[in-house]
Chains A and B, each alone.
Chain A
Amino acid sequence: MNAPVREISYSQAIQEAMAIAMESDERVILMGEDIGVYGGAFQVTGDLIDRFGPDRVMDTPISELGGAGVAVGAAVTGLRPIFEFQFSDFAALAMEQIVNQAAKMRYMLGGAVSVPLVMRFPAGSGTGAAAQHSQSLEAWLGHVPGLKVIQPATPHDVKGMLLAAVADPDPVMIFEHKLLYKMKGPVPEGHYTVPLNKAEVRREGHDVSIVATSIMVHKALEAAEVLAGEGVSAEVIDLRSIRPIDQETVIASVKKTSRLICVYEGVKTLGVGAEISAMIAESEAFDYLDAPILRLGGSETPIPYNPELEKAAVPQVPEIVDAARGLVRGVR
């Protein structure tokens, strides 16, 4: 708690967490495509190969399915791999090992094994990389019992949650929005953890609850600032984990504000917002609602290349402001 706090970037925070984990535990290894001398497609691994060598910072061939499976097998037998997908989109190539093997192995074997595996997925749009390098697929994995799926939104959280993930005996999937990599924030030095199952109230308010994930937390905070200028008090909740979902924090907030907006970058339909909405509809908070629940999610399209279209495909600050204002003033 007393460790010095510096401003470092989200990607530096990830790198620092990985280095701390590797220093303290010989079993921790990094695996992924071009994470060695190249340093990773987003330079998250950086120069770790110089500190830990190629046996612990392992470049895999371009074999997502096989690489993921090797990580599963290594985890089951005593290593603690941190596996980087170059882009979260490439998880589609590895779904078999993630969904059928890693997530279920402990259950299928009646508890005889654990799968202490961490997978990192650079996700999201905003980089002009178009439809196959910009998706937010966390809800796919959020649907699978046996996995834990997190979306840290700040440098502080990504470090602490990654360290918690490495220590966790079960497979933890970390979705990292690529636009967050350069974002700076206060991060304590040394080892600390942030729980994998707790949402965080980022801004308190009493008129409307905005539950957001990943980069949308920052957009929601911006929107809340604008709304404050208009006399609307928005509470912003950073969900942080979508499996499990911290129901308690969301329910308490909705009971307080009586209004709910869910903001997430994944495709709106059948996504995280649907789950949060249903969870509230099923909870005691339903009776407190003064307005319909709103979802702001990704458009029902692939992510387009053109920058203006790309922006239009995911929720932006003005939409969040409009939605909140409309809900609070009863204008929709």
Chain B
Amino acid sequence: MSGRARAMQVETETSNLPFIYRQYEREQLLDALRKMHLIRRFEEGAEECYMRGLIHGTMHLSIGQEASAMGICMPLVNEDQITSTHRGHGHCIAKGADVKRMFAEFFGKTTGYCAGRGGSMHIADVSTGNLGANGIVGGGLPIAVGAALTAKRLRTGKVVVCFFGDGANNEGAFHEALNMAAIWKLPVVFVCENNGYGMSTSTARSTAVANVADRAAAYSMPGVIVDGNVLSDVAEASHDAVERARRGDGPTLIECKTYRYRGHSKSDRNRYRTKDEIDDWMTNRDPIKRYEAQLIEFGIATSDELEAIRNSVQQEIDAGIEFAKASPMPSIDGLADNVYTLEA
């Protein structure tokens, strides 16, 4: 609020600036950058640990999609809730999770967010409103609508953001969920992170409409397309949708056009896209580079300050990995813990 007030005072100088620079304080802008770095370094750290055999299973990395996770979460408060996806590390961090406990979860330790029972694909932090990643494509969509139903019925004022990928837009659950959110005017924001590929199958080959957001029309809700690699554009679309939801005007579908640099998962041979395509996104459209360039251009931070943020993020990552390594393994006796709430 004070950011907006300040922006109004200096409206003549700032009115041409992109949304976030008018909406948020410097500290919030730098925190967003810090979290974007944290997401990327977390995933690079997790990948490294995986290569070294410290983490088993598989993981789905969102490197290249950081602006989408962060921009969407900027207008949210801690009590607002999200449902996330198998590519959900970024959502988890953007919503406020501690990377120490995320690493611990990936290491399968008791100190992890899911006590070592969920791993990467079920990472969650209910205390910051993250109801969990999901191993089923489209699985979180109706659940988010249910969370929004609770918010409306119990008048909690919460907004629910439902992240999903382009692959989910061809699941029946997507259509059923959007329809119900619309007929019941629920406070939910559907966010499609369209990275162009559902595993190996491009959206052009899988999806009958040019944009996932085009499908919003079928459910009488606004469909908004943004460059998912431009933090301010994502945050602005999210802000509008969250406000609309909080007013009681119902759901919005936002489509963030973005790209994942890594393969689908650890088994991906990357034979369905070209090196040129990947290089183009990495070189010319990287969300972190673009945001850093703006912060300098608009005089919000110096390159030394940005360097300091990167260094502090690296320290946090290193400490997180150390915490995970040092944490205890679950006892085998606890195999059946939490199958039920009240143990028999």
Report the nearest A residue to B131, measured CB to CB: A76
Which residues of chain A are near B172, meaning CB under 8 Å?
Answer: 65-66
Report the nearest B residue to A102, measured CB to CB: B143
Which residues of chain B are near A112, meaning CB under 8 Å?
Answer: 113-114, 124, 126
Known: A96-B173, A113-B131. A107 touches B144 (CB 8 A): no
Q: Would A61 and B180 count as touching, CB distance under 8 A?
A: yes
Bound Cα distance A69, B338 (Å)? 21
Which of B115-123, B210-218, B321-329 is near enough to bind chain A? B115-123
Bound Cα distance A45, B177 (Å)? 24
Q: Would B124 and A109 count as touching, CB distance under 8 A?
A: yes
Instruction: Produce 1/0 per residue, A90-131, CB < 8 A to B.
Output: 000000110011000111111111100000000000000000
Known: A63-B176, A66-B173. A111 touches B145 (CB 8 A): no
- Residue of A79, A81, A108, A169 with most chain B CB atoms under a 10 A cut-off: A108
Q: Would A110 and B339 count as touching, CB distance under 8 A?
A: no
Which residues of chain B are near A63, meaning CB under 8 Å?
Answer: 176, 179-180
Q: Would A72 and B142 count as touching, CB distance under 8 A?
A: yes
Which residues of chain B are near A283, meaning CB under 8 Å?
Answer: none
What's the nearest-Cβ distance from chain A to residue B22, in Å?
33
Which of B6-14, B27-35, B132-140 is near enough to bind chain A? B132-140
Q: Would A96 and B146 count as touching, CB distance under 8 A?
A: no
What's the nearest-Cβ distance from chain B to residue A65, in Å?
6
Bound Cα distance A307, B340 (Å)? 42
CB < 8 Å neighbour of A69 from B135, B146, B151, B339 = B146
Which interface class (under 10, 10 to 19, 20 to 34, 35 or more) fits A? Answer: 35 or more
- A residues 61-80 touching B (CB-CB < 8 Å): 61, 63, 65-79
Bound Cα distance A168, B175 (Å)? 31
- B65 sits at the interface (CB 8 A): no
Report the nearest A residue to B156, measured CB to CB: A78
Bound Cα distance A228, B109 (Å)? 60
The interface size of chain B toward A, counting residues with CB under 8 Å, comes to: 47
- A332 sits at the interface (CB 8 A): no
What's the nearest-Cβ distance from chain B to residue A243, in Å?
10
Which residues of chain B are near A113, meaning CB under 8 Å?
Answer: 126, 131
Which residues of chain A are near B116, meaning CB under 8 Å?
Answer: 110
Q: Would B154 and A73 count as touching, CB distance under 8 A?
A: no
Q: Would B136 and A96 count as touching, CB distance under 8 A?
A: yes
Report the nearest B residue to A81, measured CB to CB: B146
Report the nearest B residue to A101, measured CB to CB: B139
Q: Would A100 and B113 count as touching, CB distance under 8 A?
A: no
Q: Would B143 and A76 count as touching, CB distance under 8 A?
A: yes
Which residues of chain A are near B117, meaning CB under 8 Å?
Answer: 107-110
- A190 sits at the interface (CB 8 A): no
Which residues of chain B are near A68, meaning CB under 8 Å?
Answer: 142
What's the nearest-Cβ distance from chain B to residue A28, in Å?
11
- B149 sits at the interface (CB 8 A): yes
- A residues 222-264 touching B (CB-CB < 8 Å): 244
Q: Would A74 and B150 count as touching, CB distance under 8 A?
A: yes
- Residue of B131, B148, B340 with most chain A CB atoms under a 10 A cut-off: B340
Which residues of chain B are near A61, meaning CB under 8 Å?
Answer: 176, 179-180, 183
Which residues of chain A are near B175, meaning CB under 8 Å?
Answer: 66
What's the nearest-Cβ distance from chain A to residue B121, in Å?
9
Which residues of chain B are near A170, meaning CB under 8 Å?
Answer: 340-342
A sample of 15 inter-chain contacts (CB < 8 A) reads: A63-B180, A65-B172, A66-B179, A69-B141, A73-B83, A73-B131, A77-B131, A79-B149, A97-B143, A106-B338, A106-B340, A108-B118, A109-B117, A109-B126, A110-B117
